[in-house]
Each structure stands twice: as C-alpha cells, then as structure tokens.
Amino acid sequence: MFEILKKRKLAEGVTEYVFNAPKVAAKAMPGQFVLIRLDEEGERVPFTICDYDREQGTITLAIQAVGASTMRLEKMNEGDAIHDMVGPLGKATHLDVEKILLVAGGIGVAVLYPQAKYLKSIGKKVVCVMGARDVSLLAYLDEMKEVCDELFVTTDNGSFGEKGFVTTVVSRIFEQDKNAYDMVFAVGPLPMMRAVCNVTRELGVKTIVSMNPVMVDGTGMCGGCRLTVGGVTKYACVDGPEFDGHEVDFDEVMNRNSYYREIEQKHVCNLTGEVR
C-alpha cells in the first residue's frame, strides 16, 4: 500500500499528492512515470513523476481529475492509501544541450517542473514559458518562479500574465534572436505541443515533446499510446514518453486519442450518477 502523505489543490481540478514510495523515489529521474491502481480491481493509470525526495522516500504526482480513477482519487485524503504503484517507468529525459527553452501548457508544467529543478541543480540557465486558459488553471507558479531565471506566463483570457498563447511568446523570443536556444522542450495538451512544433519547425529548432497525455494503461499492451514518429510506429509508454516533436504525426495521434473520450465519459457518468 502507498500512503498519501500530503494532498493540496494546485489549480482548478488539479491536485498534488505526495506518496510514501521509497523504492520508486530511490530510482526516479525527471521524465519518468509511475502506474498506480487505487484498489485490486482498479485500472492502471500512468502519471508522470513531478517531484521526488530520495531521503524522505516520497514521490509527488500532480493529477487532473478528468476520468473515473482520478475522480475517485480526488476523494481520498491524507492518511489514505492506494493499492499499488509501479515505477519508475519510461525513459528519463536528457536535456543535454547548452541553451534550452522550456514550454508548458496547462498541467504540462507538472512534467516540466522537475526538469527545471534539475537544470537549475546542474547550473544551467532556466527559462520557461508557461500558459493556461485562465489564472485558476495555472499550477506550480510559485515553484517555477523559484527555479527559473526567466519565466514568461500567458493566459488565454488575460486573467494573469500576458494575454495569449505560449506560442506567441516562443515566436517573439526567436524573432529577437534566432539562435536564442538550441532546443525547445514542450509539454502540455496535444494541440499546444503541435502548435509549438509548427513554430519551431520553421525556425529549424529541435523540439522535444512529451506524449504522456496519450498513455492509457502504460504497459505497452493496450496500444492506446501508439503513434507514428518519423514514419515508424512507436509506443509512448515503452519508447518514450518523449519524442522529437517535428517527427510526430500529431493528426493521427489526436484522432486516436478521441476514441477513448466516449468510453471514459461513460465511466465518469457511472461514478457520479450523472446522466448525459
């Protein structure tokens, strides 16, 4: 059993959980994920590790309550425990370039935060563009302010930071200096990552994306995370979750991702008693 040691609201519909998981924490690296099951009968759900503390033996997950399991998890409290957790899984991120620009959309900042912390710890300059639809959906703002040398914040409706999208800022940064960064690392909803890739492709700036959002069971068996990268079939949970964004066929993966929406909605309605 894996106890919830701490729970706090990060943003509207997004909760941070600190789990007691010493064996996972001992090996966790930025970019990796865990699979959790709430109980013996529960589905396996993958979540990117957004922080870990080897000394305390804890790992931190930021989870958006959008499906049946995550809505059930949201009802659990500190002191409660989930049935199992497997990990760390997936390949760790290697941000081994000199000048990297981090770009986060929505809850994608939970994936970028450990990267930002890691870059800071090895003495690199940390610059991030983070955005959300509304100020209520901005997570890890204080934490990012702490680790970033420069932080640009956008909201679609202008309720915080600059009004607009992260791509506006990314374009502006490269307009000012086309050699400003050797690489962009973008994490967020699929349309946001595709939009960032469209900007950087034209500029010829290598862009890594995290395909974590398309993972379903994280075991390499369901096929839900299948995607085409550079004309070759890959699985986000086994081969990734990070890939060269300019090689990813976003149209295909966004289409497949929508297959599960109806099924998931039925589970949510069963759970909440909601009728649609």
Nearer to ligand FES, 169 or 215 (CB): 215
Closest approach, Cβ 221 to ligand FES, in A, equals: 6
Q: Does 208 bind ligand FES (CB under 6 A)?
A: no
Write the binding mask 116 to 155 for ligand FES: x where contact by CB under 6 A, - elsewhere: ----------------------------------------
User: Can you say whether the dihedral through the CA atoms of 238, 244, 249, 253 is positive or negative?
Assistant: positive
Secondary structure, 3-state, 63-83: EECCCHHHHHHHCCCCCCEEC
Whichever of 45 and 119 has its CB closer to ligand FES, that residue is 45
Q: In this chain, which of 178, 223, 251, 263 binds ligand FES, going by CB under 6 A?
A: 223
Q: Which of 33-41, 131-139, 189-197, 235-243 is the region at the interface with ligand FES (rule: CB under 6 A)?
A: 235-243
Choose, by CB under 6 A, the member of 43, 92, 224, 267 that binds ligand FES.
224
Using the rule CB under 6 A, which residue among 180, 222, 254, 268 binds ligand FES?
Answer: 222
If one asks whether residue 5 binds ligand FES (CB under 6 A), the answer comes out as: no
The answer to the question of residue 219 lying near ligand FES (CB under 6 A) is: yes
Q: Which is nearer to ligand FES, 26 or 263 (CB)?
A: 263
| Residues 257/214, Cβ–Cβ less than 8 Å | yes
Under rule CB under 6 A, residue 17 binds ligand FES:
no
Chain contacts with ligand FES (rule: CB under 6 A): 215-225, 235-237
